[in-house]
């Protein structure tokens, strides 16, 4: 495995312990982060579209592409904290919204899902060819939660070919075993997260039903109470899977980790309420190109640190440190002291 132990390990704030608290609190802390995006719309050949929020930095600086999590986007706390750091370094950034996640409903019945590596392939070719090679600078990619799973699946499928597009990748709080994650989210306190996701997903289904009446069993969808049920009623049939089990099995990225041939860092807290610790990958599951960073604390894409009210700086700095120090042998003269 690649070495990434030169950066300080994560230390949770003493006043914010427990995976649920560390998961929920960042939603209230990130609103103060000023990030200035420029939106661009990409029209797709199938008649749909994807919206991209650009962070315009200096043209000779690296480009960092971020793939968000379930029902996330460019205003998610992790996106804001990462893009804020890039902004201070004058790097370029791009938050690519999955279909229907930019605040505007997408046009087709289909949406997005955790295993859509074909969509990831199209997105990365589009953004890299249009912006990376033009400026002759490095391109890195970050996948968070659902976006991390789709990214890791793409990396495994591509093998060495991934290095033709990107210089390195980081997957954060990734549900590499979708069945384990789905079961965890449908039990105990985690049902609160599930209901939060379902409220947003159901609103989108209602919108689709107005444009495509009879497409789905709308009554059953509105009554479903678990991600398992929702995936069985909506995600699976709209994206070509037989049922939830087929979708979760085919889309889980854990089975692809041994095929990855690009420098990749996996960051997961062992107390992440979205994925049981036993489902985390071990040394036998991964290739030599993968580094594992599994702190005991951190929650799901939380990683708050410091005295109250806390900071969201450890995760973006850890990611940028990996990109600068572990993904290239080039002389990174623009590395700030805070990332060394």
Catalytic residues: 145, 272, 300
Q: Cis peptide leading into 309, omega within 30 of 0?
A: yes
Distance CA 74, CA 76 (A): 6
DSSP per position, 168-234: EEEEES--SSHHHHHHHHTSGGGHHHHHHHHHHHHHHHHHHHHHSTTSS-HHHHHH--SHHHHIIII
On whether the CB atoms of residues 150 and 247 are closer than 8 A, the answer is no
On whether the CB atoms of residues 195 and 206 are closer than 8 A, the answer is no
Distance CA 132, CA 32 (A): 30
Distance CA 20, CA 232 (A): 27
Q: Which two tokens stand for residue 120?
A: 């990831």
If DSSP codes are grouped into helix, strand and coil, which group holds residue 69?
coil
- On the 0-12 / 13-18 / 19+ scale of CB atoms within 10 A, 162 is buried
């Amino acid at each position: 495995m690649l070495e990434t132990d030169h950066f300080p390990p994560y230390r949770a704030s003493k006043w914010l312990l427990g995976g649920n608290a560390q998961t929920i609190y960042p939603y209230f802390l990130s609103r103060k982060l000023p990030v200035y995006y420029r939106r661009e719309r990409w029209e797709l050949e199938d008649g749909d579209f994807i919206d991209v929020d650009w962070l315009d930095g200096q043209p000779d600086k690296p480009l960092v592409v971020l793939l968000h999590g379930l029902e996330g986007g460019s205003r998610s706390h992790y996106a804001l904290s990462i893009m804020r750091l890039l902004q201070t370094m004058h790097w370029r950034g791009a938050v690519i919204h999955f279909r229907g996640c930019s605040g505007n409903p997408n046009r087709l019945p289909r949406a997005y899902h955790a295993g859509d590596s074909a969509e990831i392939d199209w997105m990365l070719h589009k953004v890299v060819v249009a912006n990376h090679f033009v400026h002759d600078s490095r391109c890195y990619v970050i996948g968070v939660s659902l976006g991390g799973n789709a990214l890791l699946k793409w990396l495994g499928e591509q093998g060495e070919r991934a290095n033709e597009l990107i210089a390195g990748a980081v997957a954060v709080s990734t549900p590499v075993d979708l069945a384990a994650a789905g079961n965890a989210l449908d039990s105990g306190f985690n049902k609160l997260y599930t209901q939060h996701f379902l409220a947003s997903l159901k609103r989108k289904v209602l919108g689709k039903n107005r444009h495509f009446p009879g497409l789905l069993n709308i009554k059953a969808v509105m009554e479903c109470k678990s991600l398992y049920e929702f995936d069985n009623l909506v995600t699976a049939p709209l994206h070509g899977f037989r049922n939830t089990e087929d979708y979760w099995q085919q889309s889980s990225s854990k089975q692809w980790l041994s095929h990855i041939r690009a420098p990749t860092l996996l960051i997961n807290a062992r107390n992440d309420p979205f994925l049981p610790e036993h489902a985390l990958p071990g040394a036998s599951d991964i290739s030599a190109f993968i580094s594992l960073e599994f702190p005991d604390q951190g929650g799901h894409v939380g990683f708050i640190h410091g005295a109250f009210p806390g900071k969201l700086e450890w995760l973006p700095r850890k990611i940028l440190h990996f990109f600068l120090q572990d993904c290239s042998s080039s002389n990174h003269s623009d590395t700030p002291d805070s990332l060394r």
